[in-house]
Amino acid sequence: MSKPIYVLNGPNLNLLGEREPEIYGSSTLDDVRAACEARAASFGREVVFRQSNHEGDLVSWLQEARSKAGGVVLNAAAYGHTSVALHDALKMVSLPVIDCHLSNPDARESFRHHSYVALAAKGVVSGFGVISYELAVEAACRLAAD
């Protein structure tokens, strides 16, 4: 039985669809979850989809993923730009980890240009809205060993 892909979402993404649709699109996080599940299902995998506004939850879920996941898609949101704790946790995950963003942080404010997640990830998908998640889940499924 293939292990699931963990899709982990950071702060404020629970409010997706409620504001700034010109940047993030109009999909809700439930829409994102459905898109991830559909793409993973086409590769015979399931998704464990979670969101938290708390940095420590994301660290704990990355530690859990080490033994339970086939791969990880992480949109750490603002914590990606600030969190050495997430970077350190990711360095202990020997699975394909895809850094995923709805918007393209490199085309935005300079404080979004640095990513502690990208430095420890296999690759980055950004700028395509919900499609970023679909591409990231596909990459995780195709790169997963277990």
Can you give the binding site for ligand CA2, defined by CB under 6 A?
A: 12-13, 15-16, 18-20, 24, 75, 77-78, 101-103, 105, 112
Residue number, 2 or 12, with CB nearest to ligand CA2 = 12
Active site residue 114: no
Bridge partners of 99? 74, 124
- The catalytic residue among 6, 79, 87, 101 is 101
- The catalytic residue among 24, 79, 116, 133 is 24
Q: How far is the CB of 19 from ligand CA2 (least distance, A)?
A: 5
| Residues 81/115, Cβ–Cβ less than 8 Å | yes
Residue number, 51 or 65, with CB nearest to ligand CA2 = 51
Residue number, 63 or 104, with CB nearest to ligand CA2 = 104
Active site residue 87: no
Q: Which residue is nearest to ligand CA2 (CB)?
A: 103
Q: In a 10 Å sphere around its CB, with 0-12 CB exposed, 13-18 middle and 19+ buried, how is residue 9 labelled?
A: buried
DSSP string, 22-91: HHH-S--HHHHHHHHHHHHHTTT--EEEEE-S-HHHHHHHHHHHHHH-SEEEEE-GGGGGT-HHHHHHHH
Looking at the annotation, which residues are catalytic? 24, 101
